[in-house]
Structure formats: C-alpha cells, structure tokens
Structure 1
Amino acid sequence: MSADGENSADIFIYGDIVSYQWDETDTSATSFKKDLDALGDVDTINLYINSPGGNVFEGVAIHNMLKRHKAKINVHVDALAASIASVIAMAGDTIHMPKNAMLMIHNPWTLAIGNATELRKVADDLDRIGQSVKQTYLQKAGDKLSEEKLQEMLDAETWLSADEAFEYGLCDVVQEANQMAACISEEYLSKYKNVPEQLKIQGKNHQKTVISAEEMAKRQRIADEAKANSAYINTILGGMF
C-alpha cells in the first residue's frame, strides 16, 4: 500500500507467466488474483513488469482481471514486457517505459502433435487466438497503429524500444533510463528469434542457483500434476506463448 496517504497499491510481475508456479518469481493467473484481492479497495494500482512472457491463457486472464478492476491501472515496464507480458501491459490506463526498457510482440505459438486434421485445427485456433490478442494492441494504440503494420510486426517478432512503443501508441510515457536489467532466461532465448544482443549476453551470464532437495520435491509434485493433465496440455490450451 502507498505510504503517502493515497489510496493506491503496488503489484509486481517479475518473471515468467506460468500455469504452475515453480518459484516465487513466477506468476500464474491464480497467484495474481490472490495478490490483486489482497490489495483491497484501492483507487490506483501500480503494476510493475519485468517478464519474458509465458502461457498465453494465463496472461490473457491476468489482463482481463486488470481491465475489470475499478482502479486506475498504471503500468511500469521496468525493463522488459515480452510476448504475453506485453499483452498484460496493455491493460494499463497509462503505460510508462524508461528509455532502456523494451516491449516485444509476436504471433502466438504452441507445440502440437497429431494427425493432419488435428494439426490444421491447431493452426486455425492459433489464428483465432492471434486475432484476439491483436485487438488488444489495436485498442491501446488507437489511430497510431494500423492493423496491417501491427501484423507485419507480429510476424517479424518485433522488439520495440520505449520510443518506438510510444510512436505506435503502445506506451504513453517515456521516462529516463533506469538501472533495471531485463529478465530473460536461456529457455526463452532459445524460443525467440530476434532477441537483442545485450539480452543474449545477460542470459549467458545468468548464474544458476542451487536447488535444495525440498525445492526439487516441490517441483516434482508440480511436474506430476502437469503430467496428469498432459492430454489437456498437449492441445491448443497448453504451452502457448
């Protein structure tokens, strides 16, 4: 909560957008709802983002929670809002980006197996989901961004600077550069095609933490739960980024 007497509160998305939380830096729709509910009756929410993205449906749910909330939403892209994290950012009534922050947009994708009929359905579903996500960007951008130009950028996996995001209406306020480091793991480095060189260097230099036996046991439990839902996850409703 704010210490200056204003009826406002801060909330953070600093890590991957996931269905199952591996650690405290991950954010799922369920964990975000708990954080949002814990804020209570506030007039202003300051959402701080530094995320490489993740599961599209979890992110869409988070975006819609924010859009439904009665509070004014101030979004601060502290370093990176990539993929579905950029869609979450579009929920902001005002989006702030330091000059050294980045916004990345691309078409949704998934992993799928099956016969030709099943794979054609996956492709059709991806198109429908992509169209829905595209409207989120267009609604924020207004007349600063045409649908044709947006589709061109989505097809190319485009990494936008704060100034470029402002030019296209995807950011409202460009601020002075800060010292925040963009958050992107090696997993996401391998998934994205056009990762800026400075983010690749940060990813390679990222130090792996030692995982305790307790943490490994927790992760195994989560993995077992995920396997139990494998039939669901292997459809269009899972693994989407």
Structure 2
Amino acid sequence: ASAACRAAGAAASASARPLTARGMAYLPMVYDDLPGRGGVLSDLFTRLLRERVVYLTGPVNDQAATAVGAQLLVLEAQDPHADITLYVNSPGGSVTAGLAIYDTMQYISPDVRTIGMGQCYSMGSLLLAAGTKGKRYVLPNTSVMVHQPSGGTQGTASDIAIVAEEIIRTRSRLIDIYDEHTGLGVDALTNLLERDRYFDAEETVAHSIVDEIVAKRSQDDIK
C-alpha cells in the first residue's frame, strides 16, 4: 500500500479499534499477497482501504471525522473516478463532526456508496442518506433513527437564548440536508424530526433515506 494509504489506515485503526472481552484494544491482522512485494501483514482497516472501503463505527466525534475525512481524501487522490464505499454503524454523536464528514463526502469527486448496518442513529442516519443517489443501501436488520438536534446550557438568560437560537438554526440546516437527499419536503421533515423516529429497513427505504435493501453482497455492485 502507498504511504498515504497506510497513514489513512492507521487513522482509521485508531478511531475504530474493536475491543476484546477484557476491554483491551485488539485489531486483527490479515495476510495480503501484494504484487511486487510478496506476502505482508496488514491491519483490517488498511486492507479495507485498499478496496476503497471506509468503515464508520461508533460515535460520530472529532476523531471519527478526522479518520473518515482523511480516508475519503486519500482515496480521491488515488482515483477520482472510482466509487468509495462507506459502511455506517453509529449511534450518532456530534453534529459538527458529522457535518465535517458530510461536507467531505460532498466535496470529493468519487461517488460515495453508503451501506447502513446495525444502527444508524441521529447523525449516522444523515450520513447514510448523504450517499450518492441510487447507491445508498441498508442491510435487512438495520435500525435507523432520525430526530432533531438537542443541547443544554447554563448561564445568563442571554446565553441560554443564544444557544437556543443556534439549536434552531442547526435544526433548519439538518432539515435542509435531509430534504436534499430524501426529497420529503421541509414540512414533512420538520414533523418527522420533532421526536425520535425509528425505522426498520423497509421504512428506511420508504422514507428515501436509502434506495434499496441488500441481503446479499453483489460482486459487481457492492464491496
């Protein structure tokens, strides 16, 4: 793998290491037979990156945004025309971190195929919907949840009013993004995001968050 690919893979590894039963970070290694280099050991995320696969798992935070954004930019530099596949399994998290990932997805040249698995809640659902139209998928037992942003503050009445105004502005921005990618309309989305709304795979397709349910990977279309 190139140095850039290895560096981006390391960033992904740092942000998404699975845990063993003892709580110790453990990242499995896989054996690769690379042309001109023979057999090498690679961590899982570097191996996936060579297949143009990015994996977002766990909370959406600044560390995840850095790792995912770096991988997207590296893959664009390697080939600006080949699709990138982004797997999403996230309970959501920071709006600003999620929007950093979203903006990078829209900024780069390659189409970004999104595949939802496990849970795609809050910002996770927005990133799932933000994939290229016609290339957004969900696995059959995925749970998806949408809602409006929330927040709290302490301080003077003026400070509280400022925070409340920012939450309203953020909600409006998120509704506009959902509308751009689902076409449901601002009024319908305003009502939809009023409370936590959970969708199964079929409902996720019905609300145009994704285009299709996939139960079996296609060797031609989906990595």
**2: distance between equivalents of 1:146 and 1:38?**
34
Which stretches in structure 1 are left out of the alignment for 5+ residues? 22-26, 179-241
2:68 is the alignment partner of 1:32: yes
Q: Conserved in 2, the CA contact under 8 Å of 1:8 and 1:44? A: no
TM-superposed deviation, 1:130: 0.5
TM-superposed deviation, 1:34: 2.2
More contact order relative to length (CA 8 Å, sep ≥ 6): 1
Q: List aligned pairs for 1:32-71, cutoff 5 A.
A: 32-39=68-75, 40-42=77-79, 43-71=82-110
**2: distance between equivalents of 1:8 and 1:71?**
14
1:2-43 Cα offsets, whole Å, 9 max, x none, are x9xxx9610000111113x4xxxxx1x222222223334231
1:183-233 Cα offsets, whole Å, 9 max, x none, are xxxxxxxxxxxxxxxxxxxxxxxxxxxxxxxxxxxxxxxxxxxxxxxxxxx
Quote the RMSD (CA, aligned, Å): 2.2
2:179 is the alignment partner of 1:138: yes
TM-superposed deviation, 1:174: 1.2
**1: distance between equivalents of 2:93 and 2:158?**
27
What code does the residue aligned with 1:66 have? M
Q: 1:17 — aligned with what? A: 60
What code does the residue aligned with 1:84 have? M
**1: distance between equivalents of 2:201 and 2:169?**
28
**1: distance between equivalents of 2:70 and 2:195?**
35
**2: distance between equivalents of 1:118 and 1:163?**
42
How many residues were matched structurally? 165
Q: 1:126 — aligned with what? A: 167
Instruction: Specify the SS of the correspondent of 1:57.
Output: helix
Instruction: Work out the percentage of aligned pairs sharing the same amino acid.
Output: 24
**2: distance between equivalents of 1:101 and 1:31?**
23
Q: Conserved in 1, the CA contact under 8 Å of 2:128 and 2:210? A: no
TM-superposed deviation, 1:125: 0.7
Instruction: Specify the SS of the correspondent of 1:79.
Output: strand
